[in-house]
Amino acid sequence: MHKTGMSVGLAAGLAAATWMAQAQDVIPVWPEGRVPLKTSDAPEKVNPSKDDIIRLTDVNVPTLTIFRAQQATQPVPAVLVCPGGGYSILAWNHEGTEVAAWLNKQGISAFVLKYRVPGNRDAAFSDAQRAISLIRAQAATYGVNPKKIGIMGFSAGGHLCVRTSTNGDHRFYSPVDAMDEISCRPDFTLAIYPAYLSKPDFSLTEGLPVDAKTPKTFLAQSTDDTHYIDSSVAYYIALKKAKVPVEMHLFPDGGHGYGMRKRNASSDAWTGLAEVWLQRYVK
């Protein structure tokens, strides 16, 4: 296995985080020196915070942090997890490593994607496409079923997972090695309060070509998430038109950005509903 380096400042900032004891490995998404759409070499950092959310920014070396489910006699499903943060930061524990722990409890291995931020959506998209291919190529190494590799994202990460789910036939970047010959289409999708998906007329924003090959999807959003509620509705309409299996849950309250954490709101139910969906369609 390959371990990526970590700056002294970043290591100190994350030393108390419980996820570090749980992650089994960290691997690079790209071969060294062959990262497409690279725009910066700024060192990665943790933004100051008054809450318990670890916010990473200046991510220029994309990685996968791997949380393997307890090994069964058969290969298990896997999920690529895309934290949110407006393509500016990554809510690393809040919508990343905490999600991985939840997936592990469902018998699913998790690969948390540290994609490039800030302000480089196409680079982030390339990172996600490459990550799906990488997980599928190394499925045997990680005890993963290569036909059950999904993607899950929150807010901007939800946009990223939908973009990845709807572009399985067209790799955005020029292939860098044989890994890119392996399919980058996820087998299933969970988009939790996704952002940036809808135009005012409930059509999808550009670059999201839904068709019959788009993966089956679970959507969850709160109706008081006023900036982004239309995203889930627009994607649901497009999936239904394409006859793609989709389950959507709209909650009257909960707002935006709750991740796995409870708010004493109706949106707290999304995790239980997602567990049932995963058992029915994935496990």
Burial class (CB in 10 A: 0-12, 13-18, 19+), 191: buried
Inform me whether the pLDDT recorded for 10 exceeds 50: no
pLDDT > 90: percent of the chain: 88
The band of 70, judged by pLDDT with boundaries at 50, 70 and 90, is confident
| 212-257 residue pLDDT tens | 999 999 999 999 999 999 999 999 999 999 999 999 999 999 999 9
Question: Residue type for 238, please?
Answer: A
CA within 13 Å, CB half, 168: 23
Instruction: Mean pLDDT check: name the lowest of 39-53, 75-89, 145-159, 239-253.
Output: 39-53
Q: What is the pLDDT of residue 22?
A: 61
Identify the structural domains of the chain with CATH numbers, from first to last: 8-281 (3.40.50.1820)
**CB proximity list for 255: less than 8 A, separation 6 or greater:** 222, 224, 225, 263, 265, 267
pTM of this structure: 0.92
Query: With 50 as the cut, is the pLDDT of residue 206 above it?
Result: yes
Output the pLDDT for position 277. 98
Residue 207 has pLDDT above 90, yes or no: yes
* Positive or negative torsion for Cα 204, 89, 97, 126: positive
User: 157 and 82 in contact (C-beta within 8 Å)?
Assistant: yes
Binned at pLDDT 50, 70 and 90, residue 24 comes out as: confident
- What average pLDDT does the segment 112-124 reach? 97
Q: How far is CA 169 from CA 5, 36, 125, 203, 252, in A?
A: 33, 19, 14, 21, 36
Tokens of 188: 């299933």
Q: Is the pLDDT of residue 204 over 80?
A: yes
